[in-house]
A and B are shown apart, each in its own frame.
Chain A
């Protein structure tokens, strides 16, 4: 346990060591503060001395002096305390700012495989709750601990010097407190872990409920959701209560033993005075110093709580800091000039969680080509473009852009040169204009309107009350699917990439809109990769790839594929067959078609 704790402190040191001046100032201020803390009792003693002085010639200016000293002392002390508090708050705020910035930067560098396996709520709590725990340790726990240690030392020296026997008697309570502290620290840790976990679960249930609110309403499943929520709600309460039970078991006896120092002092100390083992004067000094050791002992429980929380939180933060993206950005070349858009897949195989999602894919595209990908649901189409944008690395095989291995091109260059409009349209809570300009924050209004027109989005945007300044919600749920898709397309176009990826981007659009978008895109000089289900979307491509269960089963131009009389032709005939004549057109389900033989050798 100690080792874990030291590691946590070492980690913290990494963050605070650059605030050496602040820390040094804090130490000086603390030393001064502790000295002035003794001024008031001393001056009070002098004032009492002045009052009890029977000498009628006593100088009244002495009284003014003491009162002035006391007032001056307390103002000075409070200024010191204030200064120290501000220094510490500032330092702790800077530290969490740095921790957060670090974590945020780390998150931005992590690839999809991390986000696939990590709960959003967990990431959230690291940047919020855990960072805050670290702040508390810097701003309050550590300085309080230093004060306590200092007071204990001073108190001990003074008391031991006054009377060793009574001091030892008082300290005989310490082992009891230590044992209880050990158990509290041991058991309370587990309850903190439970509270964290149940809080995360609660977060997840509520977050999902909010995101899925449409589904919940559509199925009238409110009761079920409430039931699900209540379980987690209860679990959180229970986790919290088990912390309270642990605390209630160990902390009150600890406080009892602290209070027992009073008992020993008054009872045992009193008897010792009566037996003249201690002088009354010493007894009074003891009385003045008792708080030096009791108040730190009283605080032991709080220290344990705070340090255990800090321990747990720093561990969580460090885990995230140490997380390494699977997609590495090492040994890469930065390119100032854009890519031309030449793509080559060579024997690319991709396994995801043990499943082979793509098997031995080969194809190439020249700058300006249009590649279309078609195939059944789950056949690996989206995986293919995820590999191209390097969200994942292929398990085997190589992808080349401009004849350079993708792994050797700077990730930033890759992402700047590939723009994708994804299947699952995510819009940010921001204006439409800012959403379109997401990849090019400096874009002018004219640029935004230009691409919106290309994406056939200008008309509907202009019809909105606030036009391009209309705010859209998360996931853009205020808009229809087709509208979201067109904004997402405009967003991709504004980036002016050398490779444009359209992952099922027009599925929610009517045929006319799609047609006009396609006409607009024909003029674009980029290499285009289009994933679609509608023949109309893919027909004009220079190369059409047909994927099935991760295999590239057919490839060629529209005419070539029609000639093959395979999967593609089947889809074509279903979509464009004369409806009036052939309402009962039959095509067999893929399970019955031996697709592996359907593709041609090429």
Chain B
């Protein structure tokens, strides 16, 4: 079921898939103007940075021997102005490039988040939540530096490299060729090393992701861990994960740091070659000493941007792994989505029809429902009973189109739900699931979740109807009590009552209660039912519950077993039938007799 867990690395393609970088293009495109500004300012800054050594040579060669005050003043003024321009341009570049980067990551994140909203349950069920979270937050953050600095540095470096090579060729082509012979050696080493480095880094990043997922889950499950006295075992696992992360980080560093070092050695080696070759040429009078010295200084400058570019390659590799994961998630297929011709459902009356419905959760998994048909009139309340796992929740999941059916048709007021927009379908249903998840915020906010414009009075009224008002008011802050993450400060029953109020406030045409009252005590439930009777009027409702007292007043009870609706009728009818429902009912008495 779960495709991933903390001790399993996420699989990635072995090659760098630059198509994922291509996907960034559409985010970068609107910022062409910013990019142009940044590139220009960067190039100007880089160019101005080359001035001082050049000015120095002028000072030494011309001003000093000639005592030329005028020239030195001109140079000084130019330098002062150039420093002021650098000041200004650095400011502009910083602001423009970061603005762009922030805008892009904001958009990427936003698209990612929007996409996640549409992904099916199975996506969330099948991997640790921590691994989804880091993609949306941490990985996207990691792109920001690449965009605001790395990219422009790369452009500047490539530019500088070409300018220097151009200079060198202009001075002496032979020397330049000697100098460039370091490049193939460098390229060979790079090819050899980089693949390994990338692999090592990806491995590290996978280990890091495992560690994060484990931490996340450990925090969520801490109470279980403590109550099962599993601390030592977990500390061992955690230590192991930390160790793995360290091991692979070091591995990638062994390779990564070595690359930079080797480039340095190659750089000095070509310098030696230039000197060796140059001395001969100076001796034979082919070139002058000054030229050799100038050339030597260009050799070191030539390798600078290359070193920077290898570092940038490292960054690309690191961030590339993240970008890959981000866009992989954006590629994650939507299983349930609006069809192209999807129309908004008109206001729902509440006539529900299952027509020959066949369903299984996955293609090859066992069939849950087979050729099931039933018809529900508006305002009816239907109770679904049957053994655990028989498919009671499945009926509800199909009705709310959390899953699509393999065969047959489900209609509401005659409209096939497959051709309705998801939001028009679900927003007219009040669905209360087994998992009564509350968001952090006040109780008031939580109830208002399903009807954002609900007034405080409406909220209080709904709370009263579900018998939540009294306990809410018993808190010092009443409705303004802050609910912590997942509602840990409330009991399960209290959470259910709040979730109940949340469901009702939307005034749904179809009400679905899936074990909605399982954690609520009988007594509150009794009171609740009275309130409900009134609320259920005029609504179609589907109720799943194990307590028969919860469902006996339903207008129809359907007993689901063996992929079918085995029995259907009112409480009295089914008792008279003496079938499976009767057995279920009798089970309670069997129990009483054993007293």
A and B: real partners? Answer: yes
A226-B114 contact in complex given A93-B250, A482-B388, C-beta closer than 8 Å: yes
A273 within 8 A of B: yes
B455 within 8 A of A: no
Nearest-neighbour CB distance to chain B for A220, whole angstroms, equals 4
A590 to B292, CA, bound (A): 99
A259 within 8 A of B: yes
Q: Do residues A473 and B2 form an inter-chain contact, with CB atoms below 8 A?
A: yes
Residues of chain B contacted by A210 (CB below 8 angstroms): 116, 124, 129, 132-133
Residue in chain A with minimal CB distance to B92:
A248
User: What sequence of 0s and 1s flags, for each residue 407-447 of chain A, a beta carbon within 8 Å of any chain B beta carbon?
Assistant: 00000100110111011101011100000001101000000
A245 to B260, CA, bound (A): 33
User: What sequence of 0s and 1s flags, for each residue 177-204 of chain B, a beta carbon within 8 Å of any chain A beta carbon?
Assistant: 0000000000000000000000000000
A158 to B373, CA, bound (A): 95
A120-B1 contact in complex given A438-B228, A583-B553, C-beta closer than 8 Å: no
A115 to B223, CA, bound (A): 9
Q: Do residues A214 and B121 form an inter-chain contact, with CB atoms below 8 A?
A: yes
User: Which residues from 1 to 19 on chain B have a C-beta closer than 8 Å to any C-beta of chain A?
Assistant: 1-6
User: What sequence of 0s and 1s flags, for each residue 554-591 of chain B, a beta carbon within 8 Å of any chain A beta carbon?
Assistant: 00000000000000000110010000000011011111
Residues of chain B contacted by A259 (CB below 8 angstroms): 83, 86
Which are the 9 A-B pairs with shortest beta-carbon distances? A377-B493, A267-B76, A471-B2, A439-B228, A220-B426, A218-B431, A415-B229, A74-B268, A252-B90
Q: Do residues B224 and A511 form an inter-chain contact, with CB atoms below 8 A?
A: no
B305 within 8 A of A: no
A428-B217 contact in complex given A241-B98, A256-B84, C-beta closer than 8 Å: yes
Residue in chain B with minimal CB distance to A534:
B547
Q: Do residues A51 and B292 form an inter-chain contact, with CB atoms below 8 A?
A: yes
Q: Do residues A104 and B235 form an inter-chain contact, with CB atoms below 8 A?
A: yes
User: Which residues from 392 to 428 on chain B have a C-beta closer than 8 Å to any C-beta of chain A?
Assistant: 393, 400, 402, 422-423, 425-427
A295 within 8 A of B: no
Name A508's contact: one of B109, B434, B494, B590 (CB within 8 Å): B434
Q: Do residues A94 and B246 form an inter-chain contact, with CB atoms below 8 A?
A: yes
A420 to B225, CA, bound (A): 11
Q: Do residues A123 and B128 form an inter-chain contact, with CB atoms below 8 A?
A: no
Residues of chain B contacted by A481 (CB below 8 angstroms): 434-435, 515, 518
A82 to B122, CA, bound (A): 47
Nearest-neighbour CB distance to chain B for A260, whole angstroms, equals 6
B163 within 8 A of A: no
User: What sequence of 0s and 1s flags, for each residue 220-262 of chain B, a beta carbon within 8 Å of any chain A beta carbon?
Assistant: 1111111111110111001100110010011001100110011
Q: Do residues A108 and B226 form an inter-chain contact, with CB atoms below 8 A?
A: yes
Q: Do residues B523 and A571 form an inter-chain contact, with CB atoms below 8 A?
A: yes
Do most interface residues of chain B lie in helix, strand or loop, or is the interface mixed?
helix
A262 to B81, CA, bound (A): 13
B30 within 8 A of A: no
A533 to B88, CA, bound (A): 72
A5 within 8 A of B: no
A208 to B257, CA, bound (A): 40
Nearest-neighbour CB distance to chain A for B480, whole angstroms, equals 14
Residue in chain B with minimal CB distance to A135:
B249
A323 within 8 A of B: no
Nearest-neighbour CB distance to chain A for B140, whole angstroms, equals 10
A491 to B230, CA, bound (A): 12
Q: Do residues A475 and B435 form an inter-chain contact, with CB atoms below 8 A?
A: yes
Residues of chain B contacted by A420 (CB below 8 angstroms): 227
B80 within 8 A of A: yes
B301 within 8 A of A: no
Residues of chain A contacted by B393 (CB below 8 angstroms): 480
Nearest-neighbour CB distance to chain A for B434, whole angstroms, equals 4
Interface size class of B (residues with CB under 8 A): 35 or more
Nearest-neighbour CB distance to chain B for A505, whole angstroms, equals 11
Nearest-neighbour CB distance to chain A for B195, whole angstroms, equals 20
User: What sequence of 0s and 1s flags, for each residue 350-365 of chain B, a beta carbon within 8 Å of any chain A beta carbon?
Assistant: 0000000000000001
Residues of chain A contacted by B439 (CB below 8 angstroms): 208, 212, 215
Q: Do residues B216 and A233 form an inter-chain contact, with CB atoms below 8 A?
A: no
A294 to B257, CA, bound (A): 25
Q: Do residues A483 and B144 form an inter-chain contact, with CB atoms below 8 A?
A: no
Stretch among A84-92, A163-171, A362-370 lining the B interface = A84-92
User: What sequence of 0s and 1s flags, for each residue 489-529 of chain B, a beta carbon within 8 Å of any chain A beta carbon?
Assistant: 11111101101001000100000000100111111111100
Name B133's contact: one of A105, A206, A508 (CB within 8 Å): A206
A255 within 8 A of B: yes
Residues of chain B contacted by A79 (CB below 8 angstroms): 261
B343 within 8 A of A: no
Q: Do residues A271 and B72 form an inter-chain contact, with CB atoms below 8 A?
A: yes
User: Which residues from 113 to 128 on chain B have a C-beta closer than 8 Å to any C-beta of chain A?
Assistant: 113-114, 116-119, 121-122, 124-128
A-B contacts, 12 of them at CB < 8 A, read: A47-B275, A51-B292, A202-B137, A217-B400, A223-B423, A271-B72, A353-B489, A378-B490, A422-B223, A481-B518, A567-B523, A574-B523
Name A63's contact: one of B86, B276, B497 (CB within 8 Å): B276
Residue in chain B with minimal CB distance to A572:
B522
A255 to B130, CA, bound (A): 41
Q: Do residues B389 and A480 form an inter-chain contact, with CB atoms below 8 A?
A: yes
Q: Do residues A266 and B261 form an inter-chain contact, with CB atoms below 8 A?
A: no
Name A473's contact: one of B1, B116, B546 (CB within 8 Å): B1
Name A482's contact: one of B80, B127, B216, B389 (CB within 8 Å): B389
A266-B91 contact in complex given A107-B222, A478-B125, A482-B389, C-beta closer than 8 Å: no
Residues of chain B contacted by A263 (CB below 8 angstroms): 76, 79-80, 83
Residues of chain A contacted by B114 (CB below 8 angstroms): 222, 226
B595 within 8 A of A: yes
Q: Do residues B126 and A478 form an inter-chain contact, with CB atoms below 8 A?
A: yes
Q: Do residues A510 and B388 form an inter-chain contact, with CB atoms below 8 A?
A: yes
Residues of chain A contacted by B423 (CB below 8 angstroms): 220, 222-223
B312 within 8 A of A: no
User: Which residues from 255 to 307 on chain A have a C-beta closer than 8 Å to any C-beta of chain B?
Assistant: 255-256, 259-260, 262-263, 266-267, 270-271, 273-274, 280, 283-284, 287
B279 within 8 A of A: yes
A73 to B389, CA, bound (A): 75
Residue in chain B with minimal CB distance to A78:
B261
Q: Do residues B549 and A251 form an inter-chain contact, with CB atoms below 8 A?
A: no
Name A50's contact: one of B5, B130, B133, B279 (CB within 8 Å): B279
Residue in chain B with minimal CB distance to A435:
B224
Q: Do residues A128 and B5 form an inter-chain contact, with CB atoms below 8 A?
A: no
Stretch among B57-65, B153-161, B313-321 lining the A interface = B57-65
A266 to B71, CA, bound (A): 12
A373 to B547, CA, bound (A): 18
Q: Do residues A51 and B218 form an inter-chain contact, with CB atoms below 8 A?
A: no
Residues of chain A contacted by B278 (CB below 8 angstroms): 51
Q: Do residues A579 and B548 form an inter-chain contact, with CB atoms below 8 A?
A: yes
A375 to B519, CA, bound (A): 11
